[in-house]
C-alpha cells in the first residue's frame, strides 16, 4: 500500500520552502509519497503530518487535520516554537524518523466554544491554545460578566478575557500574566486582560468546568472571539460565549522523552548556572 505523509509548510518563509524540499526528498527516498493537502479520491490514508514553520503553522495544521487523528510533527522555523518537537537543522533526520515510525503520540487537550448572539443565532468553534474574547474597538473597553459552572463570579471592564488550555498557557495567557501549566494538567486557565477590578487574577478551573463570558449591554464596544489567534467570530453586546474542555484531542508526534521543564529552559533561555543536580535528602526529608 502506498504510504503518504502530509507536508504543512509556512507559505511566506523561503527557509520553510527549502526545508520542505529536503523533507520531501528524504521521505521519497524511503518510498513515501508526500502531499500538501488532502486529495479527493486517494485511497491511501495520510499517516502523519510534518509541519515546517512556527507555532502558528502547527495550529493551522491542527485545524486542517481536525478530526482525522493524524499525528503532527513540528519542526520549528519560527521564534519560540513551543509546539514544535525539533529545530530547523533536524529536518531530514525528522523526516526519516517519521517514516520509520520512531515517535510516540502525545495527546493535547483542546477547547470547544459555543457563541450565542442576542438574536439566538449560534456559532461553534474550537481551539488548541486559547479562546480570547476581545474588544472590537481598541480605543474602548468591554464590560463582561464571568460565570464558572453556571454560577456568577464577577463583572468587570477589561480589554478582554483569555480562556486557555494547558498547551495554550505558554501563549497569549502567559503574555497576560497567567501561570504556565504542564501539558498533562487537565484544566482550563482563565486570564482577564487589563481588567478594571480588584478580583482579576488568573484562575485555574477544573476539566469539567464550563466558563461563560457575556458581553454586557452597557459595554462601550462590541467584541470578537478569536480562536488560536487566527480565526475570529464577531459578537455583539449581549452575546454569550461558553468554553469547555474539547471533545477531541490533538495528537502530537514526540521524538524526545525530555521533560517539559527542559523545554522551558531551552525556549526561554532560563539561567541554570550553578545548579548541582539532585541534592541529598536529610532524615527529615528536607534538602540539605
- Residues serving a catalytic function are 55
Between helix 14-29 and helix 91-100 the angle, nearest 10°, is: 40
120, exposed or middle or buried, with CB in 10 Å at 0-12, 13-18, 19+?
exposed
Q: Is 112 helix (H, G, I), strand (E, B) or coil?
A: strand
Are 57 and 9 contacting, i.e. CB atoms less than 8 angstroms apart?
yes
Percentages of the chain per state (helix, strand, coil), in multiples of 5:
20, 35, 45
Whole-angstrom distance, CA of residue 250 vs CA of residue 70: 8
Strand partners, 251: 107
Alpha carbon 131 to its chain's center? 10
In this structure, what DSSP letter does residue 164 have?
E
Alpha carbon 95 to its chain's center? 23
Roughly how many angstroms between the first and final C-alpha of the chain, as a whole number? 60
Amino acid at each position: 500500500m502506498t504510504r503518504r505523509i502530509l507536508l504543512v509548510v509556512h507559505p511566506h518563509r523561503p527557509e520553510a520552502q527549502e526545508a520542505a524540499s529536503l523533507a520531501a526528498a528524504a521521505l521519497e527516498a524511503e518510498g513515501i509519497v508526500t502531499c500538501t493537502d488532502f486529495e479527493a479520491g486517494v485511497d491511501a490514508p495520510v499517516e502523519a503530518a510534518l509541519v515546517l514553520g512556527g507555532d502558528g503553522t502547527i495550529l493551522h495544521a491542527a485545524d486542517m487535520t481536525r478530526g482525522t487523528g493524524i499525528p503532527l510533527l513540528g519542526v520549528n522555523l519560527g521564534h519560540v516554537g513551543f509546539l514544535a518537537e525539533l529545530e530547523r537543522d533536524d529536518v531530514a533526520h525528522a523526516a526519516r524518523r517519521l517514516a520509520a515510525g520512531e515517535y510516540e503520540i502525545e495527546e493535547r487537550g483542546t477547547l470547544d466554544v459555543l457563541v450565542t448572539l442576542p438574536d439566538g443565532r449560534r456559532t461553534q468553534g474550537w481551539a488548541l491554545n486559547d479562546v480570547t474574547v476581545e474588544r472590537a474597538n481598541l480605543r474602548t473597553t468591554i464590560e463582561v460578566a464571568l460565570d464558572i459552572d453556571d454560577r456568577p463570579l464577577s463583572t468587570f471592564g477589561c480589554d478582554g478575557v483569555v480562556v486557555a488550555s494547558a498547551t495554550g498557557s505558554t501563549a497569549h495567557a502567559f503574555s497576560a500574566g497567567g501561570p504556565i501549566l504542564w501539558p498533562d494538567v487537565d484544566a482550563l486557565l482563565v486570564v482577564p486582560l487589563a481588567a478594571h477590578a480588584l478580583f482579576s487574577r488568573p484562575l485555574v478551573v477544573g476539566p469539567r468546568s464550563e466558563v461563560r463570558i457575556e458581553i454586557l449591554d452597557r459595554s462601550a464596544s462590541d467584541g470578537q472571539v478569536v480562536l488560536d489567534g487566527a480565526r475570529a467570530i464577531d459578537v455583539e453586546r449581549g452575546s454569550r460565549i461558553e468554553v469547555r474542555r474539547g471533545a477531541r484531542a490533538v495528537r502530537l508526534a514526540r521524538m524526545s522523552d525530555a521533560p517539559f521543564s527542559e523545554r522551558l529552559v531551552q525556549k526561554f533561555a532560563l539561567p541554570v548556572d550553578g545548579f548541582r543536580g539532585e541534592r541529598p535528602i536529610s532524615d527529615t526529608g528536607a534538602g540539605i
